[in-house]
Structure 1
Amino acid sequence: MQVSVTIDNGTITMVTPLQLTNDDRKSVQISNRAAPILREEVLAAQSANVANVSGATYTTQGYLRSLQAALDAAQF
């Protein structure tokens, strides 16, 4: 799981998944369902502090871990 974040004038404006879980067909379906929900939640919260997507705990954790690393690198 790897995401990229775009920050403009101190605001998270975009979160782009660079690599989602692709272990098996079910994981791909879960990731494809959860990623847009997580993006919207992150944009609304302006942080990685958002709730898990129901049924996508591992995807959520990986997504948010990658996001937090990107935010830390950007000193956000």
Structure 2
Amino acid sequence: MAALFISFKYGSAMIKKTGLFLPQALIAGTINLALGVFGIMVWFFFSWKVNEFLFFGGLVLGLSLIVVGEVVLLSIFFKA
């Protein structure tokens, strides 16, 4: 959820500053994706040593949070 907040703050500030919607929305979405993938990688290094079920559960949770975060981010940008 921190990735969503960071990418929203960047996107909204840069859209107001430049007036360009699509390039800034794509950059904000890329930031959201990159931070989500980084979080999943950190989770992998932690959970693989503990339990495989924890590993795959975190994978599913992380991927679903990335997808939901991207949808929420784009819907907020389109409504604003």
Q: Which band: TM-score by shorter chain?
A: 0.3 to 0.5
TM-score normalised over the length of structure 2: 0.40
Larger radius of gyration: 2
Name the structure where strand makes up a greater proportion of residues: 1
What's the TM-score, normalizing by structure 1?
0.42
